[in-house]
């Protein structure tokens, strides 16, 4: 039997590039879609066949392809209650996950004290409060005294009583350390217990499961969560997530040796976004926008608030980039899927994009949300601004600086591309896309040294154009 292969798809910017839609679009050419990092901090939205949307957090985005196996790898962290709820939600859509969904028994479990610690400490970074960082940090700390800090699904199934007792101790220790009183952990543990029973049939105890599938000819698509700039090592540390998000990490958390790797697909969005704090060189409105979007941890200027106060058409015509950022957020509905926080918006940054393409060896690039570029036709400049060069301390640089301090000092050069008037929603042929958009694609290919796979032309499931 000829073995199969694996491709890796990752986001190239700060997350929320629309990876899930591209996964859903490409899934028919694969037998397995697998997650290798992160957990319920990911918000992957896909269109249902009847035109609605579903938001997935932990389950891979190919749920509507009934023949596809869905795998959650050992590099992921699992929130039992949320996973059980997600399974229930998908089952309610008449999708049978039995025999399709497999969760590695080596994946770590998010414990109550992880959620507590994230709620206490995650504010400065602006985390999603899902306990992701504390869980990965306990994975590295492994154990303390006679108890596990890193409890994995397999441990829980082997000895649930011992593991729940350890979770309780882990929690008690933290509430004592942080002088927290009157917290009833018993109800939370009971809910986790019942969630575990729902998840039990999906836990994969064969640690070579994915390898055996590929050896028998199956084709895997790895689905990255978060994105390159949020990588715990290569991203804008410390304002990052706590897992490895770069392409190579698929072969650590995804439970397959790299020998099966075929190609790497990158997804970027035409108007960039970022949630949480941290440098963002091309942000409309710069640090003013960062402070505004992150006010009260991102919970102040939400979609409801902005819709009550602002008229996006008026703001779009403003000469202040801060106003343009608000208008683009409202028109593009750029608010967090998980957190509902306003996303900070920025110009497409070709220096950052090229950096991410080269660092990850991207072969094919998909640019999502190109329909939103049309809004630039209504700005006073009537053109699409794109960042094309960086300088640091007066010297040109062609990379993203490794430290936050340096990245905040970067000065950007902006070039303007002609805006287009026509709606691209519904277009299906690459050559019929507006000339200025094609010129931008050309520029991306030349600079980044990869080929365009396609572009997103609207939010609906079928709204995309492939280059072919
Ligand atoms: P955490 O992953 O919850 O620890 O959050 C760390 C940082 O990553 C915060 O700035 C989050 O807003 C960001 N982040 C985490 N998951 C996502 C995602 O799926 N999309 C975009 N940003 C994310």
Residue 44 confidence (pLDDT): 87
pLDDT-derived band at 276, boundaries 50, 70, 90: confident
Residue 51 confidence (pLDDT): 84
Query: Is the minimum distance from the CB of 111 to ligand 1 under 6 angstroms?
Result: no
Would the pLDDT of 193 be above 80? yes
Would the pLDDT of 87 be above 90? yes
Mean pLDDT of 423-447: 94
Mean pLDDT of 217-229: 97
Distance in angstroms (rounded) separating the CA atoms of residues 348 and 386: 5
CA–centroid distance, 244 to ligand 1, in Å, is 12
Would the pLDDT of 293 be above 70? yes
Give the atom of ligand 1 at the shortest distance from the alpha carbon of 339.
12
pLDDT-derived band at 184, boundaries 50, 70, 90: confident
Mutate to test the pocket of ligand 1, among 41, 58, 135 (most ligand atoms within 8 A of CB): 41
Mutate to test the pocket of ligand 1, among 15, 114, 129 (most ligand atoms within 8 A of CB): 15
Residue 256 confidence (pLDDT): 98
Would the pLDDT of 231 be above 90? yes
Query: Is the minimum distance from the CB of 242 to ligand 1 under 6 angstroms?
Result: yes
CA–centroid distance, 130 to ligand 1, in Å, is 9
Which residues are within 8 A (CB) of 356 and not within 5 positions of it... i.e. 6 or more apart? 12, 13, 228, 229, 266, 268, 362
Would the pLDDT of 147 be above 90? yes
Q: Are strands 53-56 and 44-47 parallel, antiparallel or unpaired?
A: antiparallel
Residue 28 confidence (pLDDT): 95
Distance in angstroms (rounded) separating the CA atoms of residues 127 and 118: 8
Residue 49 confidence (pLDDT): 84
Give me the chain's average pLDDT, please. 95
* Structure confidence by residue, pLDDT tens digits, 90-109: 999 999 999 999 999 999 99
Determine what percent of the chain is predicted with pLDDT higher than 90.
Answer: 91
Query: Is the minimum distance from the CB of 214 to ligand 1 under 6 angstroms?
Result: no
Mean pLDDT of 166-189: 92
Determine what percent of the chain is predicted with pLDDT higher than 70.
Answer: 99
Phi, psi of 83 (to 5 degrees): -70, -40
Query: Is the minimum distance from the CB of 42 to ligand 1 under 6 angstroms?
Result: yes
Burial class of residue 179 in the structure, from the number of CB atoms within 10 Å of its CB (0-12 exposed, 13-18 middle, 19+ buried):
exposed
Distance in angstroms (rounded) separating the CA atoms of residues 176 and 174: 5
- The DSSP output letter for 436 is H
CA–centroid distance, 276 to ligand 1, in Å, is 7
Distance in angstroms (rounded) separating the CA atoms of residues 362 and 384: 25
Please work out, in degrees rounded to the nearest 5, the angle formed at the alpha carbon of residue 163 by the alpha carbons of 34 and 81. 50
User: Ligand 1: which residue has its CA nearest to atom 1?
Assistant: 127
Quote the crossing angle between the two packed helices 186-199 and 112-121, to the nearest 10°.
Answer: 120
Burial class of residue 432 in the structure, from the number of CB atoms within 10 Å of its CB (0-12 exposed, 13-18 middle, 19+ buried):
exposed
Would the pLDDT of 181 be above 90? no
User: Ligand 1: which residue has its CA nearest to atom 21?
Assistant: 15
Query: Is the minimum distance from the CB of 235 to ligand 1 under 6 angstroms?
Result: no
CA–centroid distance, 423 to ligand 1, in Å, is 32
Q: Model's pTM, two decimal places? A: 0.96
Would the pLDDT of 433 be above 80? yes
The pair of three-digit structure tokens given for residue 94, joined into one six-digit string: 């008449």
* Structure confidence by residue, pLDDT tens digits, 405-418: 999 999 999 999 99
Query: Is the minimum distance from the CB of 275 to ligand 1 under 6 angstroms?
Result: yes
CA–centroid distance, 127 to ligand 1, in Å, is 6
Residue 338 confidence (pLDDT): 65
CA–centroid distance, 230 to ligand 1, in Å, is 7
Query: Is the minimum distance from the CB of 43 to ligand 1 under 6 angstroms?
Result: yes
Residue 317 confidence (pLDDT): 93
CA–centroid distance, 241 to ligand 1, in Å, is 5
Would the pLDDT of 336 be above 90? no
Name residue, tokens 């009550």. 308
Burial class of residue 378 in the structure, from the number of CB atoms within 10 Å of its CB (0-12 exposed, 13-18 middle, 19+ buried):
middle
DSSP H/E element including 414: strand 411-418
Query: Is the minimum distance from the CB of 125 to ligand 1 under 6 angstroms?
Result: yes
Residue 163 confidence (pLDDT): 98
User: Ligand 1: which residue has its CA nearest to atom 11?
Assistant: 127
Distance in angstroms (rounded) separating the CA atoms of residues 81 and 77: 12
Q: How far apart are the first and last CA of the chain?
A: 30
Mutate to test the pocket of ligand 1, among 45, 128, 335 (most ligand atoms within 8 A of CB): 128
Mean pLDDT of 367-390: 95
Q: Which of 332, 331, 244, 239 is nearest to 294 (CA)?
A: 239
Residue 14 confidence (pLDDT): 97
Q: Which residues are part of the catalytic machinery?
A: 16, 44
pLDDT-derived band at 351, boundaries 50, 70, 90: very high
Distance in angstroms (rounded) separating the CA atoms of residues 132 and 337: 17
Burial 258-290 (b: 16+ CB within 10 A, else e): eebbeebbbbbbbbbbbbbbbbbbbbbbbeebb
Alpha carbon 440 to its chain centroid, in Å, reads 24
Half-sphere exposure of 397 (CA within 13 A, CB side): 18
Query: Is the minimum distance from the CB of 78 to ligand 1 under 6 angstroms?
Result: no
């Amino acid at each position: 039997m000829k073995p199969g292969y694996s491709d890796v798809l990752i986001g190239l910017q700060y997350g929320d590039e629309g990876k899930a839609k591209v996964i859903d679009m490409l899934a028919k050419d694969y037998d397995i879609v697998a997650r290798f990092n992160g957990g319920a901090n990911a918000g992957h939205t896909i269109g249902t066949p009847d035109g609605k949307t579903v938001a997935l957090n932990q389950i891979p985005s190919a749920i509507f392809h009934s023949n596809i196996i869905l795998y959650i790898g050992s590099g992921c962290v699992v929130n039992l209650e949320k996973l059980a709820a997600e399974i229930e939600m998908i089952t309610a859509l008449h999708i049978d996950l039995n025999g399709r969904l497999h969760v590695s028994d080596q994946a770590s479990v998010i414990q109550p004290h992880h959620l507590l610690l994230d709620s206490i400490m995650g504010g400065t970074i602006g985390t999603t409060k899902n306990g992701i960082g504390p869980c990965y940090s306990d994975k590295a700390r492994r154990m303390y005294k006679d108890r596990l800090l890193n409890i994995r699904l397999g441990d829980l199934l082997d000895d649930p009583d011992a593991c729940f007792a350890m979770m309780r101790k882990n929690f008690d220790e933290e509430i004592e350390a942080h002088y927290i009183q009157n917290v009833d952990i018993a109800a939370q543990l009971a809910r986790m217990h019942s969630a575990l029973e729902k998840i039990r049939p999906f836990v994969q105890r064969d640690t070579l499961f994915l390898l055996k599938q590929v050896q028998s000819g199956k084709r895997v698509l790895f689905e990255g969560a978060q994105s390159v700039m949020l990588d715990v090592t290569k991203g804008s540390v410390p304002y990052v997530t706590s897992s490895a998000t770069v392409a190579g990490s698929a072969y650590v958390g995804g439970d397959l040796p790299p020998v099966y790797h075929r190609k790497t697909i990158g997804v970027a969005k035409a108007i960039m976004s970022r949630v949480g704090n941290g440098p963002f060189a091309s942000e409309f409105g710069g640090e003013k926008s960062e402070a505004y979007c992150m006010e009260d941890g991102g919970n102040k200027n939400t979609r409801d608030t902005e819709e009550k106060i602002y008229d996006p058409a008026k703001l779009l015509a403003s000469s202040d980039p801060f106003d343009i950022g608000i208008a683009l957020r409202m028109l593009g509905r750029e608010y967090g899927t998980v957190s509902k926080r306003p996303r900070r918006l920025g110009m497409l940054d070709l220096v950052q994009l090229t950096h991410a393409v080269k660092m990850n060896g991207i072969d094919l690039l998909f640019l999502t949300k190109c329909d939103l570029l049309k809004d630039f036709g209504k700005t006073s400049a009537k053109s699409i601004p794109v960042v094309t060069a960086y300088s640091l301390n007066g010297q040109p640089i062609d990379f993203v600086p490794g430290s936050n301090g340096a990245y905040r000092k970067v000065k950007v050069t902006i070039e303007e591309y002609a805006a287009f008037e026509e709606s691209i929603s519904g277009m299906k042929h690459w050559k019929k896309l507006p000339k200025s958009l094609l010129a931008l694609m050309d520029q991306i290919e030349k600079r980044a040294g990869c080929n365009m796979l396609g572009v997103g032309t609207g939010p609906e499931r079928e709204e995309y154009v492939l280059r072919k």
